[in-house]
Every structure is written in structure tokens, then in C-alpha cells.
A and B are shown apart, each in its own frame.
Chain A
Amino acid sequence: MTVNSKMPNSKSTVTLPGSIRGFVERQATRPLEILFESPDPLFYPYCEYWRRAVAAMLLSGRIAAKDDGFPNMTDVNRICQEANFDQYLFEATGKFLVMAKIIRRSGRTSRYEPAKFGDAFWNRQLQPLQETARQAFLELVQHFTPSRVWRPTLAVSSRLDVLVALFATAFADLAIPWDQAGNVFLEFSQLPAPDLIDLGKQLGFKKRRSDRAGWGRWLDEPGQKALLSALSVSSWAYSTEHKKQTWIYLSDTARIILGLATPPELPVPVVDFKVLPNLCVLAGADLPPEKLVPLFRHCKIKRIDRVFELQLDKRQLTETTPQEPSVWNLREVLEESGPLPATADSLLRHRPLGGGEIRIRGCSAIVQPESAEVLDAIRQHSRLKGYLEVGAPKGYLLIKQQSNPSNFIQRCQELGFKATILQS
């Protein structure tokens, strides 16, 4: 059997060795053309608008990083509710971005910052993305493998990505039942070594006879689960329902990252950017992070799509700006879209009250005299003024923290002032 690794963008045509061909034919597979009436066109890997939105949200500082570097799910749930975004997809994407070193926890703080492959991600550079995504896949296998399970090596040395590449070639355009997938991977990995090596050679992988034994050790039951989870989180495999059964198939993303298919042309970048008078900000998903991150930090997220829809909101600005004066940064960013409408200009000019200074001082009681004359008399009285704290609000008197309010009341009565305690 001769297969194209992916029609019509295949790099080359490979011939499946006999044992592999026989193995594929024995499996209960479904061609993708049966599962999907009109298959989606080839996507450029890791440049979907929602993935960029997740990265921008993580970098915005509205989601804390946990000690293990993954996002705090309480924050994730809150922001996903606001943005009407699937929190499970967010969680998976966040994990992938961390594992792929696109973002990382900043030192010992709970903030995220761009990591080594941040630029490659934002600028859609395929080669570094291929490098980091393969590494991330292996790290994810390690992450999903229970710590009590012993393995002779770390996942990064397991070459499971090579196994996935061989598998993807053998099962090109075919889906397999989800509940059998782990076992099919295991059995596939134990096919005759020469045939696997031959297929690997055709795909350009280095010959290593030891792989077969290593894969077998990694693909016990917990290992199979870890492999499937890693495939899913890194978007290397998708599942779909057909006739009451769940099917899994390897994605174009996996094929492109593993070098089995040539990527399509880079899609036209969506870089529209507008601030509207109704305080709505429209920002294309392909704008650089310097623009997107402040927007996601200071605006309400209304819609995650190829053009993000955000809303300038006074309450949100008040909550986010006291921690840093970056509302001015936001203003600079917004001004790049053109002259600001009066409504937006006014909102950004407004100094958020949340950033004001708060001075707290203790007192033992607050006194409301019945008139300005009485207040003045008490303040001037030589035997009463010692009880009073300075800086009381207009119309009120404050009793010093160390003074006893009962003594003050008693003394007032002795001096002829009528005093009543309103609330103890």
C-alpha cells in the first residue's frame, strides 16, 4: 500500500511495509471522508484566534500562575465566564502554552511573562514552533503520567513523537475507535522492528532499534492514557462522534509539526483595530501582544473571534489600574487605532478613584453635635478639646483612640451639653 502522508500537501509518497499495512487493514477504522462530509481545509498550526486570546489573557495578569506554572482555575473560570469561552479549552491551551515555553511563570511571582518561544508563537514562525511543540508533547506525556509509575527514562527521551509520526503515516485519513486507541498504539509499537525502522527511514527519522522496546514500556495502561491526553492537549488528535461511537484521528497540526505535511500558506493576518464611540474596541487576533495584552488586561472581554470585541468599562479600569499606572499604556495603545472618540477619551482621562490614597486612623467614637455652634463650642472648650482627634469629617467630631467615650459624655453633661449615644 502506498500512502500520501497527507493529501494534497504531502511532502512525499511512502510505501507501508507489509506488516504495518496488514496491521492497519485489521483495525476497525473509518475513513475521515465518511465522518466529515466536507473536511476542513488545512490549518496553519497554532495560530488560531482563540489560542492567541488565551495567551493574551494569561499575559494580561488577570490569571494567576500556580506553583506548577499552570493557570489558576478560579481565575480561569471567572475570565471564561466574562468572555463566554470554554474553560476546558482554556485549561488545555494554557497547559500547552506553558509546556511549549511560549509563556512562563515570572520568577516566584504569580504573573505570567513571555518565554523563549513567545516571539515564534506571536509571529507564526513554523520552524521554532515545530521544535517546541514536539518537546511540549513529550513533556505533556510526562505530566500526565502518574508519578508513582516507574519509567526507565524521562518522556523527553522516549521518542514517542516518532511513534506518533509513524502511526500518523500508517493511519493517514483514517480514524480509530477512541476506546481502542491506546491499545492500537501499543500493538503498533510492537510491530516488527525492521518494518518500523524502514517506515521511519522513509520519513527521514534516524534509525534506532531501541525505540521499539522503549515504546512498549511507555505504553502500559497509564501510559496509553497519558499519550492520548497529550495528543489532545497539544491538538495533535481530535475526536468526533459517529453512529454513537467516539472516533479519534490525528490532526493536520500533528502532521505539519512532525514534518509529514507541508503547511498551507500563512493566512492573511487580521490586524483591524478600532475604538468605537460606544466604548467598544475591535482588535484583530493577529495584532502583536504589545497591543493585545493591555486590552485584555483593562477591558471587558465581550467576544473571542478573529476580531476580538472588548469593552472599555469604568469599573474594570478602576479595578485594574491601582496595581499599576498602565491605564496610560492602554491609552497609548488605543491611540494607535486613530483619534479616540470623546466617550473613550473622557473615560481614560478620568483618574480612577481606586488609585487614590487611603489614610486610616483609629478613633474610639464619632460624635455628631446638634449644630455647628455646639460643635464649635466643644472644639474650643479647654476641658473637652483634649478628647478630640484632628481631621474629623465636616460636621463631626472624633474621639481619640486612647480616650474613653463614656468619660467624654459624662464631662459634656457636667458642662451642660446634652449628649446622647446613638449607637454603641
Chain B
Amino acid sequence: MSASRSENPFIVQSDHTVLVEVDSPRYVEGRDALARFAELVKSPEHVHTYRITPLSIWNARAAGVTVEWIREKMRGLSKYDVPRHVEIEIAEYAARYGKLKLTRDHRGLVLSLSAAVLAEELVRHQTVALLLGQRIGSQDFLVEPAERGRLKQSLIRVGYPVEDLAGYREGEQLEIILRSETRGGLSFHLRDYQREAAETFYAAGTARGGSGVIVLPCGAGKTIVGLACMARLQTSTLVLTTSVTATRQWSAELLDKTTLPGEAIGEYSGHTKDIRPVTIATYNILTWRRDRTDRFAHLELFDQRDWGLIIYDEVHLLPAPVFQVTAGLQARRRLGLTATLVREDGREDDVFALIGPKKVDMPWKELERQGWIASARCHEVRVAMPEPLRMDYAVAFARDRFRIAAENPRKKDIVREILAYHPDAQTLIIGMYVEQLRELADELEVPLLTGATRQSRRDELFTQFKAGSIRLLAVSKVANFAVDLPDASVAIQVSGTFGSRQEEAQRLGRILRPKPGENQAHFYTLVSQDTVEQDFALKRQLFLCEQGYQYEIHDIEQMRQKKLAEQSCPKLPFPTNNGVNQ
């Protein structure tokens, strides 16, 4: 291998994955090339993994990338020869793009195929044939507007992407302008990556844009990207969020950073049903029904105004009924926002088919390097269980073991010690079990916020926390998402939802908002040693590890023994805001 080739960053595997060495001098060139035709699967330190899929190739073709360009880049940047079958298969995938086009003319929606043979193949396909309308030529079919989403979904499943050039409804006109100075008197302008994300979504107003998902880390300003898209489109907008708190935050951001008057913004939740040109609703209210046999009465909200844009905040949590409605909303522009496009139910494909393809995916560490989000140190603190509890754990049924481990009473002492190491930091104590949190909150005299806390009380606590009048706040999983607590710099996770990767990432996200000064956050996760909780913790950490975060592991017993042996200060060597305290 020539010296120059050995420094190339790609290793192309025969299963279409591409390993990319981050330390290669040509890494940046390689990353930029791959971003156009492959999907980032994971990005731990040293080696990132991308995958070339039919979808990623079709996305590339849609953006004007040619097969020759892909081949040239892969050969030029690979350390070893590119497997021949990979090149052949990429060419085959690419050839499929553009064979099916969906357009609109005086006859309505028309699906045009590139060859009569293909038409014959599709009419014989059970699920596709049901969704095709009248055949109006050897290669053309009419399509019912209501079936537009489902047809695209079915065709993608049989391996034929549709180039949807039928356009969107413009929706009600609405003047939205981003302010250069916020109502609070601060200077405001879009960051480069926010502007690029909005422009990528907008695609100069053509039918090639207008639907898709933007993936940005927590704290990177997804809401701002949403506002920028609204300002580009100048149309009435329905925003769907995960909680009333998030609804209020969207409302506050709209008022603060756009010229929209207060009366143009409505909230549609369990508390208020106010439909305005910009309406912010919760997923909960949309999927509410009296009983399992009843219909979802609030889904009518989608038809109650001529929305020109629908924004799905935290799109990875989109509930199934909203997916179904979205299949019928393909004529409206759709924007999905998330930090973690990881669905624990594995429905990422439905997000792709019904909301749209991933338009932007910004690695967390990249934004950290640029200083747009706080740098974070993650710590896993392993706490031994007291001996009697250890026996209870050993004889417990498998289903009870996780809870026994998660509620390990020794965690309380560690929480105290961590708090002592960060005496001035705004700190969140996050847990899954309310009883455990209540005990902690009582002992530490910390306010507690759970699902049972009234909305007015939640707003009050969040306001006090933001204002700094309270420094510590214990929160259950209600604060996992879309809660903006800009000054929190320490999070202590005392328990979590089993192996949920997105919950771990979202919880870290609570402390990633950029901070004045050293812009440093600390995330502690407390796990009981040698228990299933430790195994689940490993799985929880995968997403963040893949984003380049490293967990420092602290074994409390080992540290204590070492410290006692050295007869030094028995305090634990956790890092402080000023560095590592040894």
C-alpha cells in the first residue's frame, strides 16, 4: 500500500458500511463526501461508521450527485480496494431513482413510470396496486390525493422511491419576520448551521424541499431552526410538542424572536383550545380519547385551518395515531426536529417515509468544538449495594431486580457528595422512580417536580430555577424532553428507564445549553455495582458514546479503599468546575 493511500480515511466493507478513521489527515474531505451519499450510523471516538443504503443513494441522486462522483470519491478516499459488488450495487440503486415521478396536472396527481415493464410489475404487487388509481396510459396512473403518503410508503418498501414533484399547498399567508434584536433587548441572529439547516429544508421553495427531519443536539437551537423555516415560508403553522411546558417555551421563543404578535399564537392543550395562525399543540391532546374504542377527537385540529407547515418537535416520540394522520397530509410541508433520531420502537423508516428524509444531521461533538453547546464530562459512578439489600436482590424475581438496584439507598450519600463538589452549580437530580426522588428531595430539602405537579407549579419552579433563586431541582421523567433550563450545568441521574439510549441523551441535553465562562457541564449517572442496572447503563450510554462522549467510570468502593490506604482526605475525587479534585 502506498504511503498516501494508507492515510486515506475510508475502509469500505462488503456489507455497504464505511468505516471512517477520524485521525486521518483526509478525514474532513471524507466526511463531507460521505455526508452526501451515506448515513452516519455511529460516531464514537477514532472511527465513525456510515452506511450506504438505497435511501441514502436516492437522497444523493435527488440532490444531483452522480454515480460517477460517488465512485470516484470512494476509490480516491479508500485505504483498500472498494469491493466490486458494492460499486455495482450502488449503480443499481442509483438507477432506480427517477423511474417513478409524482406530478400534478389538470388530471390531478399523476404517477409516471419510466417503463411499461415497471408498470406491469407494480400493478401485480398486492399492496401497491390497491393504492394506484386509474391507469391513464401504458406508464401513467392517477393517484388519489389522500393516498399520496401511503403510496410513497408502499413503493419505497418494494424498492422504488418516488420523486414527489407534486408540490405543497401554500397554506394561509402569515407574515413572520425574525427580529435582529429580541424583545428582551439582546442581539439575535441565526448561527451559520441554523441558517444552513433552514435553507436546506426550504430548498428555495421548490418541491424538492419542504419535508424532512433536522437532527441537532440538545441546546443547539432546534426551535430557532423551526422559527427560521417559518420565516422562510411565511405561512400558518401547526407546531406539535411533547408537553405543555414545551408549548409555552415555543410560544415564548416566537414572541421573543419574531415579529408575531401574541394574538397570532394559540395553545391547544388539555388546558386551552385556542386555534390561531400559529398553534402549538401537544401530542398528548391529539391522541387523547375517552376509551380505547373511541375516536381521536382532537386529530381534527389538522383540518381546522389551512396549515402551510406542520412542525413535529421531538419527532422521535411521534405517536402512532399521528403517523396515520400524517400519511394523509403529504400536501402540507412537514418539518421534524429531534436530537436523537433513535426510536426505541424501531420506526425510523416511518419517520422517513411520512415526515421526510433526514435533511441535516450535525454531530454533537462538532457543535461542542465550535462552542455552540457546552462541553460535557460524563461520569458513571458505581455504588455497591448494602449487604442485606444485596441478598434481597439476589433472591428477587428478574422483573423486580432493576428497581431494587435503581433504588439503592447508598446513592443518597453519593448525591450529597457530588453536590458538595459543585457547591454553586445549578443542578438537576433526575430519576425514574418518584418514591426515590421524593425521599431524596425531602432529605436534601429540594423542590420536587413530577407528573403529578400542577402546570402552574411546574412553571413556577422552572422560572425560579432559571432565575437562580433555587439551585437544586429534583425532576422525574417529565423533564426528559424539551425543557429549556439554560443555566443547569450539573445533572445527577439516580435512576433511568432501563436501557433507553434516547433518554440518556435527552437528559444530558438538559445541561448542554451554552454557558458563560468555561462552558462546562457534568453529567453523573449513579448505578448499583454488579447488578442489572450496570448492564442497562452500558446500553443507555451507547448513543452518547457513538456521538463521541466518553464516560469516566468511578468505582466508589475502590476509591474509598485507596484513599483510606493512603490516609488522605476521604472525600471522593470527583472533578469540580475548576478541574479534577485529586
Q: Which residues of A contact B (CB under 8 A)?
A: 38, 40-41, 267-268, 270, 272, 274, 276-280, 282, 303, 305-307, 314-315, 341-343, 345-346, 353, 393-395
A346 to B84, CA, bound (A): 40
**Chain A's nearest CB lies how many Å from the CB of B210?**
36
A342 contacts B13, CB within 8 Å? no
A41 to B1, CA, bound (A): 18
Q: Which residues of B contact A (CB under 8 A)?
A: 1, 11, 13-15, 17, 19, 42, 44-47, 79-81, 84, 88, 387-388, 391, 530, 535, 538, 541-542, 545-546, 550-553, 555
A10 to B538, CA, bound (A): 55
Contacts of B535 in A (CB 8 A): 314-315
A307 to B209, CA, bound (A): 37
Q: Which 10 A-B pairs have the closest CB atoms?
A: A278-B545, A305-B13, A268-B1, A346-B553, A276-B44, A278-B44, A277-B545, A277-B44, A277-B550, A342-B553
**Chain A's nearest CB lies how many Å from the CB of B121?**
19
A63 to B507, CA, bound (A): 43
Which of chain A's residues has its CB closest to B546's CB?
Answer: A278
Contacts of A345 in B (CB 8 A): 553
Contacts of A282 in B (CB 8 A): 19, 47
Contacts of B45 in A (CB 8 A): 276-277, 341
**Chain A's nearest CB lies how many Å from the CB of B175?**
47
A242 to B358, CA, bound (A): 40
Q: How many A-B Cβ pairs are below 8 Å?
A: 73
Contacts of A394 in B (CB 8 A): 387-388, 391
Contacts of B391 in A (CB 8 A): 393-395
A393 to B394, CA, bound (A): 12
A112 to B403, CA, bound (A): 44
Contacts of A267 in B (CB 8 A): 80-81
Contacts of A306 in B (CB 8 A): 11, 13-14, 80
A40-B84, A268-B1, A276-B44 known; A307 vs B553 contact (CB < 8 Å): no
A418 to B468, CA, bound (A): 60
* Seed contacts A270-B11, A276-B46, A307-B19; 18 additional CB < 8 Å A-B pairs: A38-B88, A40-B84, A267-B81, A268-B1, A272-B11, A272-B19, A274-B46, A274-B47, A278-B542, A280-B44, A303-B17, A306-B80, A342-B551, A343-B541, A343-B550, A345-B553, A394-B388, A395-B391
Contacts of A279 in B (CB 8 A): 538
Residue contacts A-B, CB under 8 angstroms, 15 given = A38-B88, A270-B80, A276-B47, A277-B44, A277-B545, A278-B541, A280-B44, A303-B13, A305-B15, A306-B14, A342-B550, A342-B552, A343-B538, A343-B545, A394-B388
Interface centre among B13, B42, B84, B388 (most CB of A within 10 A): B13
A394 to B394, CA, bound (A): 13
**Chain B's nearest CB lies how many Å from the CB of A392?**
12
Contacts of A303 in B (CB 8 A): 13, 15, 17
Which of chain B's residues has its CB closest to A284's CB?
Answer: B11
Kindly identify which residue among A41, A278, A314, A346 contacts B42, using a CB–CB cutoff of 8 Å.
A278
A84 to B401, CA, bound (A): 32
B46 contacts A268, CB within 8 Å? no
A305 to B19, CA, bound (A): 11
Which of chain A's residues has its CB closest to B529's CB?
Answer: A350
**Chain B's nearest CB lies how many Å from the CB of A350?**
8
Contacts of A272 in B (CB 8 A): 11, 19, 79
A228 to B47, CA, bound (A): 44
Which of chain A's residues has its CB closest to B42's CB?
Answer: A278
**Chain A's nearest CB lies how many Å from the CB of B137?**
32
Kindly identify which residue among B19, B42, B550 contacts A341, using a CB–CB cutoff of 8 Å.
B550
**Chain A's nearest CB lies how many Å from the CB of B487?**
28
Contacts of B538 in A (CB 8 A): 279, 314, 343
A307 contacts B13, CB within 8 Å? yes
Contacts of A393 in B (CB 8 A): 391
Contacts of A305 in B (CB 8 A): 13-15, 17
Interface centre among A41, A277, A280 (most CB of B within 10 A): A277
Contacts of B387 in A (CB 8 A): 394
Contacts of B550 in A (CB 8 A): 277, 341-343
Contacts of B79 in A (CB 8 A): 272
Kindly identify which residue among B1, B19, B551 contacts A343, using a CB–CB cutoff of 8 Å.
B551
A395 to B44, CA, bound (A): 48
A346 to B80, CA, bound (A): 33
**Chain B's nearest CB lies how many Å from the CB of A303?**
7
**Chain B's nearest CB lies how many Å from the CB of A355?**
13
A394 to B11, CA, bound (A): 57
A282 to B11, CA, bound (A): 11
Contacts of A268 in B (CB 8 A): 1, 80
A278 to B551, CA, bound (A): 10
Contacts of A341 in B (CB 8 A): 45, 550
Which of chain B's residues has its CB closest to A342's CB?
Answer: B553
